[in-house]
A and B are shown apart, each in its own frame.
Chain A
Amino acid sequence: EVQLVESGGGLVKPGSSLKLSCVASGFTFSSYGMHWIRQAPKKGLEWIALIYYDSSNKYYADSVKGRFTISRDNSKNTLYLEMNSLRSEDTAMYYCAKGRLADYWGQGVMVTVSS
């Protein structure tokens, strides 16, 4: 059974940093690209980043480019999202999702940016 478990969220002040993790199981993690997708409270879905299976390519939404970094450790079956210079508009539930089609999603982790 595919499982994706996010962690690392919390309440932080504007300008601070946070690193999210997503631990994968139930599939060959090293064979799939992975996404981070977020959802602000009561809002729609916003794709923010993708990393290829071998980390050879990374893509970002303009809203996070230069502030967020997606990475992965295939030996640990773990996806990361390093978030710097956080803003109030980054407040959202953050999901990791598997594969180009995002066919499996985690339960999400909440990030709140507030003074």
Chain B
Amino acid sequence: DIVMTQSPSSLAVSAGDKVTMSCKSSQSLLSSEYQGNYLSWFQQKPGQSPKLLISLASTRETGVPDRFIGSGSGTDFTLTISSVQAEDLAVYYCEQYYSYPLTFGSGTKLEIK
């Protein structure tokens, strides 16, 4: 099984700050056939279901603000929020869909000071 490791487990920032969080996979998520990294980022706000933010490591879903930026390739990935807003308070999960079983990271909890 592919193990997904997220860091940090939590961070507290002020509105307007730039935030980066990491996700590392135990195997490459790069598909040579389709030339894409099979890595998604989800946002789960308190009391809500998770929401897909980014797929293929860097493709934002429709309606996701452009302050959310996914990057990386192979085994190392990053989610950057360029200017954090109060409504970004949430837990962020990465997930690999390269192979079954699909696996999630343990999450990064974002708190707003």
Contact = CB atoms under 8 A, between A and B. Distances in A.
A103 B54 CA distance: 10
B61 to A, nearest CB: 7
Contact of A61 (B50, B91, B101, B105): B101
Given A44-B106, A45-B42, A101-B55, A62 B49 contact: no
Contacts of A102: 40, 42, 50, 52, 95
A50 interface: yes
B104 A44 contact: yes
Interface residues of B, number: 22
A59 interface: yes
Interface string B92-113: 0101010011111111000000
Contacts, number: 50
Nearest to A45: B104
Contact of A45 (B1, B93, B97, B101): B93
Interface residues of A, number: 20
B55 A47 contact: no
Interface of B: 1, 40, 42, 44, 49-52, 55, 61, 91, 93, 95, 97, 100-107
